[in-house]
């Protein structure tokens, strides 16, 4: 009795784009062997149509066809001479690493205040002196105190908030405790706790 030999995927060449399967990769490999350019172009277009049927979730993507042609060239290891309606991708561009994301570092030592507070401070220092600017500074300072209490502890002096505000504004906003008075810590903490209790009651009501 003749012994049957089986070929396992682990013994085969790894697929370049596994999502398309080995059958598609074999078609692309065969496409590279077709000498007649016109016939090769027709087969390339037929393969791209097959790729499109396997990627219906990409149909709403604006450059859907462009992506499919890129996939064809990638599976051909960029060694394919066909007429593409789009610029051919290059292996250098594919292997290029994306630039590292730059995270905002300004005010990072006071991250519990949030980036919105920092942006408000940056805009406020641009304003001319007026009652409206003074009111906005007081509002920002009170929000800073509330945020500080949320993430740190149940009490903080106004002097600490004023110093943080001075640092975040690059020294352009200097509040004095004998001129400005923020809301009491107990009032801000109490309001925060009451809001949490109110939300919990509403949650219980919805469950019941």
103 inside domain: no
Burial class, 55, CB count within 10 angstroms (exposed 0-12 / middle 13-18 / buried 19+): middle
Distant-in-sequence, close-in-space partners of 102: CB < 8 Å, separation ≥ 6? none
Long-range contacts at 17-20 (CB < 8 A, ≥ 24 apart): 17/71, 17/74, 17/75, 19/54, 20/51, 20/54, 20/71, 20/75
* DSSP secondary structure letter of residue 3: P
Contact between 166 and 144 under an 8 Å Cβ cutoff? The reply is no
Residue 207 forms part of a structural domain: no
One pLDDT digit (tens) per residue for the chain, 208 residues:
455 555 555 556 788 888 888 999 999 999 999 999 999 999 999 999 999 888 777 666 778 889 899 999 999 999 999 999 999 888 887 776 777 766 555 545 788 888 889 999 999 999 999 999 999 999 999 999 988 888 777 678 889 999 999 999 999 999 887 777 888 877 766 655 555 544 444 444 444 4
In a domain, 202, yes or no: no
Number of domains in the chain: 2
Task: Answer whether residue 136 is part of any domain.
Answer: yes
> Which one, of 136, 140, 152, lies nearest residue 185 by Cα?
152
Instruction: Say whether both 147 and 72 belong to one domain.
Output: no
Residues contacting 33, CB < 8 A, separation 6+: none
- For residue 167, give its domain range: 108-186
Q: Which residues contact 123 (CB under 8 A, 6 or more apart)?
A: none
Whether 158 and 131 share a structural domain: yes
Whole-model pTM? Answer: 0.45
Intra-chain end-to-end CA distance of the chain, in Å: 72
């Amino acid at each position: 009795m003749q012994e049957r030999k089986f070929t396992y995927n682990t013994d085969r060449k790894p697929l370049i784009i596994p999502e398309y399967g080995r059958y598609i990769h074999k078609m692309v490999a065969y496409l590279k062997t077709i000498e007649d350019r016109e016939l090769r172009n027709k087969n390339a277009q037929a393969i791209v149509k097959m790729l499109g049927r396997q990627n219906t979730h990409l149909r709403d993507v604006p450059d859907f066809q462009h992506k499919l042609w890129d996939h064809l060239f990638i599976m051909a290891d960029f060694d394919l001479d066909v007429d593409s309606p789009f610029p051919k991708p290059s292996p250098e561009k594919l292997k290029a690493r994306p630039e590292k994301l730059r995270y905002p570092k300004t005010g990072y030592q006071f991250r519990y205040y949030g980036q919105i507070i920092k942006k408000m401070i940056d805009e406020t220092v641009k304003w001319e002196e007026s009652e409206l600017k003074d009111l906005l500074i007081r509002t920002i300072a009170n929000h800073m105190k509330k945020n500080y209490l949320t993430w740190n502890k149940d009490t903080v002096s106004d002097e600490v908030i004023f110093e943080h505000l001075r640092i975040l504004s690059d020294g352009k906003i200097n509040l004095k405790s004998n001129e400005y008075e923020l809301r009491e810590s107990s009032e801000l903490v109490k309001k925060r706790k009451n809001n949490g209790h109110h939300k919990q009651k509403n949650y219980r009501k919805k469950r019941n």
